[in-house]
Amino acid sequence: MLGYVVRRICVAAGLVLIVATLVFLAIHLVPGDPAELLLSQGGVAPDPATVAELREKLGLDAPLLDQYVNYLAALLHGNLGSSLIDDHSVAAEIALRLPRTLELIAAAAVLAILLGLPAGTLAALHAGSLADRLASAAAGIALSIPVFVVGTVAILLFAQKLRWVPAGGYVPFERDALGHLLVLAMPAGTIALGLAAVIFRMTRTSVLEVAARDYVRAARARGIAPGRIVLNHILRNALLPVVTVLALHLGSLLGGTVLVEYVFNWPGLSGYLVRAVELRDYPEVTGIVLVISILFVLLNLAVDLTYAVLDPRVRHV
């Protein structure tokens, strides 16, 4: 298994290098000049001499290949560079914002699992019942409503009408723990709604399939308590596809919470990435995408290891 993990890590490192190159090329090849943009704020006409000065200062006048080599050399030293706009360290900004996005995703995942897993299991065990049909219909609706609609309705209801929570924003946990949880509730709940529907559907399908297997029937015949059959015989086997789907969704959420972060003003990584692209802040864009890619690769590795825990057969592959 160690050899397998080492091989996977090597492949992952190669993937990260490819991603780094592609992102560097992509952001440099699209039109838009950070120096021009920075000096064109507020709809004004920048003086070309001033733009040239800034381009020189930012190193943007160097040939692209030189810029690429410098970029890779800096990466090898673990240096993600600094913002073209205000010279702020990209690594420091990511270190500040990544935990917030991870917290948002983690909170949403916990909520979604707490809701989707039991509901999916119960719906499968009582397949065809009214509750199953209602839950399936609700999951269908939850899946089809875009997050910005859920978010906007949540703001209207819980912030503007009921005034239970702030409309958005961020309160550091260390400053006000309750305030932090209050502002986290709506964005996490919004992401969780769609995610719970996915988990619900996957769990329901998988449990239905596993519950019909012979070994489950045999377990029943042996007189094992129904609760134990569900937990040890059905769920343990039914969870593999659920974990896969959940991991894929969590991975895509790393860069995909942008709408929720935007709607709720949550200062995470996705919103930071969008702003960086808008301003053509090259070091920020490449740094953030690189970090997200590494996390995605690590998440996939974690899924493989989780497989090994859930299914001992995988350990011998």
Partner 1 sequence: MPPTLSRRSFVAGSAALPFLCIASAAARTPGILVFGLSSYPPSLAPWANAGTAAGTVKLMIHRGLLSYDANGSLRGELAEQWTQDGPAAWIFKLREAVFHNGDTVESADVKWNIEQISAEKSTAYFRAEMQGIERIETADARTVRIVMKEPAASLPQWFASYHLPIVSRKSQLSEPIGAGPFVMKSQERGVFLEVEAFPKYYKPGLPKLKAIRAVVYADENLRVAALQAGDVDLIEYVPWQSMDAISKDPKLALDTTDGPFMYLLFNGTKPPFNDARVRQAVAHAIRRDDIVKAAFFGRGSPLAHLPITEKSEFFNPELKDGWNYDPALARKLMADAGYPNGLSCSLLSTAQYGMHKDTAEVVQQNLAAIGIRAELNLPDWATRVTLGNRGQYDMAVGGTAADNNDPDGLANLIDGSLSPSYIRSFGVRVPRIEELLKAGRAEFDPAKRKAIYKEIEALAITQAPIAGLAWRSQGYAMAKDVTGFKNLPGALTFSSGITLEQTNAG
- Give 20-25's long-range contacts (Cβ < 8 A, gap of 24+): 20/71, 20/72, 20/75, 20/286, 20/290, 20/293, 21/68, 23/285, 23/286, 23/289, 23/290, 24/68, 24/71, 24/282, 24/286
Alpha-carbon dihedral angle through residues 64, 69, 74, 77, given to the nearest 10 degrees: 170
- 45 forms part of the interface with partner 1 (CB under 8 A): yes
- 42 forms part of the interface with partner 1 (CB under 8 A): yes
Question: Shortest approach of partner 1 to residue 135 CB, angstroms?
Answer: 18
Contact 93, 284 (CB under 8 A): yes
Exposure of 194 in the CB half-sphere (CA atoms within 13 A):
20
- 170 forms part of the interface with partner 1 (CB under 8 A): yes
Comparing CB distances to partner 1, the nearer of 12 and 37 is 37
- 272 forms part of the interface with partner 1 (CB under 8 A): yes
Comparing CB distances to partner 1, the nearer of 204 and 280 is 280
Tell me which residue of 89, 53, 150, 98 sits closest to 281, measured CA to CA. Answer: 89
Contact 20, 290 (CB under 8 A): yes
- 271 forms part of the interface with partner 1 (CB under 8 A): yes
- 140 forms part of the interface with partner 1 (CB under 8 A): no
Comparing CB distances to partner 1, the nearer of 57 and 133 is 57
Choose one: 8-16, 150-158, 191-199, 291-299; the region binding partner 1 (CB under 8 A).
150-158
Comparing CB distances to partner 1, the nearer of 158 and 296 is 158
SS (H, E, C) 265-305: CCCCHHHHHHHHHHCCCHHHHHHHHHHHHHHHHHHHHHHHH
- 118 forms part of the interface with partner 1 (CB under 8 A): no
- 169 forms part of the interface with partner 1 (CB under 8 A): yes
* Residues 81-110 contacting partner 1, CB under 8 A: 85-86, 88, 93, 96-97
* Tokens linked to 116: 């989707």
- 256 forms part of the interface with partner 1 (CB under 8 A): no
Give me the residues that bind partner 1 (CB under 8 A), please: 30-33, 36-48, 50, 53-54, 57, 85-86, 88, 93, 96-97, 152, 155-156, 159-160, 162-170, 182, 262-265, 267, 271-272, 275, 278-280
